[in-house]
Structure 1
Amino acid sequence: MPGHVLDAERAHLAASRAALKAMREHARSLSADAAGDWVSQQILQSLLDQRVAALADHPDTPLFFGRLDRSAADDLPDTIYVGRRHVHDESSRPLVIDWRAPVSRAFYQAGPADPMGVALRRRFGYKGGELTAYEDEPLDGRRLGPSRLLTEEIERPRTGPMRDIVATIQPDQDEIVRADLGVTVCVQGAPGTGKTAVGLHRAAYLLFTHRERLSRAGVMIVGPNRAFLAYISSVLPALGEVRVDQTTVTGILGEHAHPEDPAVAAIKGDARMAEVVRRALWLHVTKPEEGVLFTKGINRYRVADHEVREIVAGLRGTTRYGPGRATLAQRLAHAVLIQMERRGESPDDRVQDAVARSKPVKALLDAVWPKLTPEQVLFRLLSDAAFLARASRSDLSAEEQELILWRKPYKSHRSAKWTAADAALLDEIAGLIERTPSHGHLVVDEAQDLSAMQLRALGRRCRTGSATVLGDLAQGTTPWSARSWKTVLDHLGQPSGEVTELTLGFRVPREVLDFAARLLPSVAPDLAAPRSLRPGAGSLSVRPVPDAVAAVPEAVRQALGREGSIGVIVADAAVPAVSAALEGVPHTVLGPDSTGEDRVLVVPATLAKGLEYDHVIVAEPADIVAAEDRGPARLYVVLTRAVTSLTVLHARDLPAELAVP
């Protein structure tokens, strides 16, 4: 019987792949020539190209991973195959239903207590692209224990970029994935709980459910660095979503990498700076001392100084700076037109625009409401002590003002070397001058490490939309790391966002997670300790050695005897020495802009966040802790990157929390 079932399911898989190929060929055969003009043709061709790309069939990726045998009496088919995308035959009969469709929700949520109209749930096992096994789960109350195929899929060794988790989404994860577009969701996720995958799958779900709206407004994924983006880059395309922006905060705000004292960066990243830079911008608007005299032929029209002051006062601070300047010109021109009409003239809009562009009006604008760039404003703020004091008022202490003031002022804003913290301030000022375009949805990962000003910058980009905020307060490694998600949501401009917590891990073995969790009381005492479904007996090895760097090659050779990827994670300063010690072993040193193609990767501790490896080797934890103020949090991140085994090599004493009892 099992053999016959497998044969039938393999036949359905073959038919589904053939149907997908036909769908792709049909999309490829369509022509954009039907569009009227050249621009419309280019737009239509782009859409057709995206459709063809979305219909790509990946031979090593299962086209469907589940099946529902339904008991409900309705218009839906009795048998539904759930997969990564919709597939239909030439008669439009569905062969595979997209996992995001409403009817597919039962695959993740149905249970004996609420079968949701399903009598039987079937999971499929694959090796490469070949269907090799199946497992049935009746939903009549019989307890069959945990799914073997589900466990095997979760524990399957990984190589290369991150995989999607559509076959293994758990009910609590599915609730987050299917949250409505209008809801901002904040996910506090312990290591291995799949929070990053949940965020990506929510983006895919929203694009499916609200295709028309989000195709206009756009979806953006924001990660901590380019190495992380490369790691997750294949997830959305595998789900058929090829039109999603993936970037970093640096990619949004600009490459400003000039080094800066963390204490200075912390002040610049503080939420108080929002009010400081707002004042700094509006302090450039001065009180008019003269009126405007406009001459047309032999006629002279004067707008008195007191009237100009009233117009400026009525506009100051009630609009964005750029539109306010344009409005001031129009208000002055309108005052002139009123005088023209009183003299019996009949001026129209063209006359008003001409007055607004006239030299007298432009001269007053330049004197009273000058045209500014963000760089000009911030340059003056950081180079002029008196101006900084006026803008700060009581928001920054004298000591804080002294700390952020440039010691050696640059000659001009064009020669200034801006820092990453400056970039967020420049973006804040830019948002005060002109409106920042907003996306329909924003997914922000590792959000706990963003400063208040960086969060405000991201908030401007989902001002008219919503967000999925992902992170772990215990993994905060910057001096300004968040201590509460409410604060993060407030800074993001989404105060009504819903905070949910994922504490049950599926990837990190329990033995490894429990070891790393010993750091939690000192790192994030208010968080519940994470739990793992995987016992992972024998997954942890803590080895005292004479020289941790010298011991790395042997540990790597032992790991090479097992299946899966290998990450050697060390303090940033130790990377060159560890790479030299591995001479003769093919490996890559992970950089901010690279992922590496070798099975063995040497990973600086500061780049490990968000990444996972089957086997992790950590050399000298004490050096990782000593390298930065929040070193214990960094070590917590490093120790939780392993999904099969963790080997800790140390010549120096372990941190007290990790010492073997």
Structure 2
Amino acid sequence: MSDKQPEWQAEQARVDEVVLQVDRRMETLEEQTSGTHSEMVDIRKNFWDDVTVNFEDAVEMAESFASLKQQAEVLSERERTHLHASRQLRTLRKLKSSPYFGRIDFLENGEPTADQVYLGIASFRAQGSEQDLIYDWRAPIASLYYDYPPGPAQLTTPAGQIRGELLLKRQFVIRDGEIVSLFDTGVTIGDELLQEVLGRQSDAQMRSIVGTIQREQNRIIRNERSRLLLVQGAAGSGKTSAALQRVAYLLYRFRGSLSADQIVLFSPNPMFNSYVSTVLPELGEENMQQTTFQDYLAARLGHSFKLENPYAQLEYALRAEKEHGYEARMSGIRYKATTGFVRLIDGYLGVLGGAGIIFRDVRFKDEVLATGEDIGAYFYGLDRSIAVPNRMRLTAEWLLGLLKARQKAAQQEDWVDQAVDLLDKETYLRAHQTLKRQNRKLKADSFDDFDRERELLGQYVVMEAVKPVRSRIKKLTFVDIRSTFLRLFLSSEIAARAAAHAGIELPESWECICKDTIDRLLVKKMAYEDATPFLYVVERIRGFQTNTSVRHVLIDEAQDYTAFQFAYLQRLFPFGRFTALGDLNQSIQAHAGAEESTGFKALAALHKEAETETIVLKQSYRSTRPIVEFTSMLIPGGEEIQPFNRDGLRPKLSVAGNRDGLHALIRERLDALAAEGNRTIAVICKTAAQSLLVYEALHGVPAIRLVESETSSFEPGIAVIPSYLAKGVEFDAVLVYDASGSHSGYGQESDRKLFYTVCTRAMHELHLFALGSAGPFLQGPIEGYYDTAPKSADVQTH
């Protein structure tokens, strides 16, 4: 529409009116926040003024306590009010700049006039009015905008189905209160708006996509029925964006019964957490809990073992092919990722219910209170129908009874007198206060009697000596989990019994897997593939430490999770609904290729079919059409990926004759890309070791940084990054380092998905560099989908 058209002018007049109303609301809120802030400062400043607490006068102490409690409640109420108003102000500032992005005119059947509904990131109505000027994009009526073209439409509301006709579907781009573009569209969000959004430079954080949500993405966002929602999407199809909008929708839909701390996102790495951290606050919601599965494992096991992380495991898989024991390790990694290994461990746990758990001696000082054999005899003497964790609790109670009897007997022993003599004054007074609290009849002058004093101090000394033993018993540390876990790999007989119990057969490489596992665990090294199975055994024996407060669990890059990790998470969050997002073509972990180890089969098997929904996203929005057409040629079935029609440069390949020449070409390209204004540029290497070498070779390039597994923030500039850390993130331009078929490049069939993943990170430009010659994935029909750099004195051209 031309800006001279009356329709445009009328829409701009409405924007002006809404901005005026927003301004008025902001003025009111700013006055309120200023007032409440001053009150909070005064209350905090004078909180303890005129408060004297007389601990000898119970009445006065109670009055002082009541006064303090009242002031604390007033302060808490003011802080809540101030926080709420501050959040409203942040939202209003966004609305002032861009009040809304869409409009629908809906004529309900039987009604004389159509409702005009304008959609934005939050609802807004003028003061004193009962009519919303802006509707929140998460409101039920907004689904008409995302799901229907003009024509017959229906709306599901809490009150039931509403049918009618969608007369108009209009989209806006509004900046600083001015309509930049305005157009009417059909069933999908219009290409014009998508072109405008997708054509921008990348940010350091993921953007909200509420203005460009597509119909399939809307199904993900508004799904309330499924206990398990599986989202399989092509690279750049908006899986993660839709999942984050889903969180915002759920917080809006179930406000009052669902809070942000009841939602947890498992993301692929710490940098990804930084990348997505602004999406929910941009929509006026608090961030959910964000973690990685590795962080969880480290919190549970890091104090007991030297724990390997998944990136070290992948580095090993990519680099150690010629090392001794490589095949045995890789066999173990693949097998331990499968449902077959889950069943074997379950079979082993079934065997352990009857015999085989190894127990440690329980000691009090230098004396054995109960031997491991005694504990085992007691445990296995209990009714076998009682679950193992419950039998453990009964065994702990028995041990606590033995400890209590030993504590009583110890009070008459010589070591107690010696310990009492060594008490310093501070400990003496602390003992006195402790005993006084425990025995209300004990008077202050009771210590005047020497024998009574000696008796009470002796009780204190023994009580302190018993305390750590009691704590260890309650924590069930008398169970030797490491030795019990190792027993499966040490004894071929027990392994065979476990397999028979599970109704499966051991793999042919079992003997090699056992040796590899034993060698590490004996020196307290925990391989990544063993961490979850080990923790699973811990929980099944001691009792699962479940999280019953979490209601929604989102797993990004779910294709990289193992069957065991899915099984563990399912038990960890028994009341959680799961949303799993992934792309099977980006399965790049060391276990990739193992039967049933990747994809969603293992997770789907844990849920009823009626409670599971699968949504497949085939449209790719991240990259330009030439880049998507190129990357689609890299994988089987790539023809099903639908590129969004955004034009751009074709990928370009440059081949260097030597490494210095390769680095010179990359430097030249980085300078050009930076000069063109690209904000985020990545030099993606295959491994972390390669990344370090390249980073050192490119030293001096402005704004360059090395991204490592510990890197916790995503920042603009030039990133030198290993392939597996680039997952889930996008860059304006990507430079693929060494796309040759050499060992340092991508020459094996097992490298195919890794190479695909690397190339799909590019939004606008993709540049491929190779040392010596192009790799196998760049040969054949795909050669028609990229350009080659012109010959130069320093460059060999493919």
Alignment match of 1:601 (pick from 719, 722, 746): 719
Distance 2:245 2:22 in 1: 23
Matched, 1:658 2:772: no
The counterpart of 2:390, out of the listed 289, 303, 323, is: 323
- Could you report, residue by residue, the CA deviation over 1:254-288 in whole angstroms, capped at 9, with x for unpaired residues? 25326564433323333233343345445555579
The aligned amino acid for 1:399 is S
Amino acid of the structure 1 residue aligned with 2:708: G
Range moving further from structure 2, 529-538 or 88-97:
88-97
Alpha-carbon deviation of 1:6?
2.1
CA contact (8 A) 2:150 2:169 kept: no
**Is this contact kept in 2: 1:269–1:452, CA < 8 A?**
yes
Residue 587 of structure 1, aligned match among 685, 704, 714: 704
1:114 aligns with 2:230: no
User: Counterpart of 2:686 in structure 1: which amino acid?
Assistant: A
* Larger mean Cα displacement after TM superposition, 168-177 or 212-221: 212-221
Which of 282, 292, 313 is 1:238 aligned to?
282
Correspondences of 1:67-106 after superposition (within 5 Å): 67-72=103-108, 78-91=115-128, 93=130, 94-106=132-144
Q: Report the CA distance between 1:27 and its aligned residue.
A: 8.1
Q: Which residue of 2 aligns with 1:277?
A: 345
Contact 2:557 2:582 in 1 (8 A): yes
Q: Which residue of 2 aligns with 1:9?
A: 15
Q: Which amino acid aligns with 1:532?
A: P
Which residue pairs with 2:429 in the alignment? Answer: none
Mapped partners of 1:46, 1:488: distance in 2: 47
1:23-422 pair list within 5 angstroms? 29=36, 51=84, 54-55=87-88, 57=90, 59=93, 62-72=98-108, 78-91=115-128, 93=130, 94-115=132-153, 117-127=165-175, 129-137=176-184, 146-215=190-259, 218-254=262-298, 256-257=307-308, 261-281=329-349, 283-285=351-353, 312-315=383-386, 319=387, 321-326=388-393, 372=479, 374-375=481-482, 377-381=484-488, 388=495, 390-393=497-500, 395-397=505-507, 399-405=509-515, 416-422=524-530
Judged with a 3 Å threshold, the aligned counterparts in structure 2 of structure 1 residues 43 and 144 are, in CA distance, closer, same or farther, namely closer
Map residues 409-558 of structure 1 onto 2, 5 A cutoff. 416-432=524-540, 433-435=542-544, 436-438=546-548, 439-481=550-592, 485-490=599-604, 493=607, 495=609, 496-521=611-636, 525=637, 529-546=640-657, 547-558=661-672
Q: Residue 551 of structure 1: CA displacement?
A: 1.0
Are the aligned partners of 1:21 and 1:57 in contact in 2 as well (CA < 8 Å)? no
Contiguous gaps of at least 5 residues in structure 1: 289-305, 332-361
SS of equivalent to 1:499: strand
Supply the distance in 2 between the matched residues of 1:628 and 1:451 (Cα, whole angstroms).
23
Number of residue pairs matched? 600
CA distance in 1, matches of 2:533, 2:83: 37
By how many angstroms is 1:236 displaced? 1.6
User: What is the one-letter code of the residue matched to 1:632?
Assistant: R
Q: Supply the distance in 1 between the matched residues of 2:349 and 2:72 (Cα, whole angstroms).
A: 40
Structure 1 residues 74 and 601: alpha-carbon distance in aligned structure 2, compared to 1, 3 A threshold: farther
8 Å contact kept, 2:229–2:613: yes
Q: Which moved more, 1:434-443 or 1:199-208?
A: 434-443
SS at match of 2:581: strand
Deviation at 1:629, TM superposition (A): 7.0
Counterpart code for 1:133: V
Structure 1 counterpart of 2:693, which letter? A
Bigger share in helix: 2
Whether the 8 Å CA contact 1:191–1:508 is kept in 2: the answer is no
Pick the structure with greater CA Rg. Answer: 2
Equivalent residue of 1:610, what SS?
Answer: coil
Contact 1:17 1:63 in 2 (8 A): no
Letter in 2 for 1:605: S
- CA shift, 1:163, in A, is 0.5
Closer, same or farther in 2 for the Cα pair 1:314/1:68, shift >3 Å? same
SS at match of 1:323: helix
Q: Distance in 1 between matches of 2:137 and 2:287?
A: 19
Instruction: Return the TM-score normalized by structure 1.
Output: 0.79
Per the alignment, do residues 642 and 410 of structure 1 end up closer, same or farther by CA in structure 2, a change over 3 Å counting?
closer
Equivalent residues of 2:118, 2:133 under 8 A apart: yes
What SS class does the counterpart of residue 615 from structure 1 fall into?
strand
Q: Please list the CA deviations of residues 436-484 of structure 1 after superposition, one character each: whole Å capped at 9, or x if unmatched.
A: 2242111111111111111212222443232111111111112333677
TM-score in terms of structure 2 length:
0.66
Alpha-carbon distance in 2 for matches of 1:218, 1:104: 25
Is the CA contact (8 Å cut-off) linking 2:686 and 2:723 kept in structure 1?
Answer: yes
Q: Which secondary structure state, in structure 2, belongs to the residue aligned with residue 314 of structure 1?
A: coil
Distance 2:396 2:670 in 1: 70
**Contact 1:520/1:529 (CA < 8 Å) preserved in 2?**
no
Alpha-carbon offset, residue 138 of structure 1: 6.9
> What residue in structure 2 maps to residue 354 of structure 1?
none
Q: How far apart, in 2, do the equivalents of 1:53 and 1:627 lie?
A: 55
CA distance in 2, matches of 1:627, 1:249: 30
Separation in structure 2 between the aligned mates of residue 446 and residue 81 of structure 1, nearest angstrom: 35
- The one-letter code matched in structure 1 to 2:603 is L
Pick the aligned partner of 1:639 from 759, 766, 771: 759
| Structure 1 letter corresponding to 2:25 | A
Change (3 A) 1:79 1:492: same
**1:39 to 1:604, Cα distance in 2 relative to 1, 3 A:** farther
Q: Aligned in 2, Cα 1:563/1:446: closer, same or farther, shift over 3 Å? A: same
CA distance in 2, matches of 1:480, 1:101: 43
Letter of the 1:55 counterpart: Q
Q: Write the distance in 2 (CA, Å) between the matches of 1:463 and 1:19.
A: 44
Q: Distance in 2 between matches of 1:145 and 1:407?
A: 53
How far off is 1:608 after superposition?
1.2
Question: 2 CA distance for matches of 1:145 and 1:199?
Answer: 18
- The separation in 1 between residues aligned to 2:134 and 2:395, in whole angstroms, is 60
- Which of residues 690, 704, 709 is equivalent to 1:574? 690
TM-fit CA distance, 1:511: 0.9
- Gaps in structure 2 of 5+ consecutive residues: 1-5, 44-66, 155-164, 314-328, 357-376, 399-468, 785-798
Tell me by how many angstroms 1:22 deviates. 4.6
Q: Separation in 2 of the partners of 1:379 and 1:329?
A: 23
CA distance in 1, matches of 2:570, 2:662: 44
Q: Distance in 2 between matches of 1:13 and 1:618?
A: 46
CA distance in 1, matches of 2:189, 2:581: 31
Deviation of 1:130 after TM superposition, in Å, equals: 4.5
Q: Partner letter of residue 455 of structure 1?
A: F
SS in 2 for 1:508: coil
Separation of aligned partners in 2, 1:657 and 1:608:
20
Tell me the distance in 1 between the aligned counterparts of 2:84 and 2:494: 55
The match for 2:731 is 613
Among all aligned residue pairs of Structure 1 and Structure 2, give the percentage whose two residues are the same amino acid. 22
Q: 1:325 is aligned with what amino acid?
A: M
8 Å CA contact 2:339, 2:563 repeated in 1: yes
Return the alpha-carbon distance in structure 2 between the equivalents of residues 144 and 370 of structure 1: 59
RMSD of the alignment, in Å? 4.2
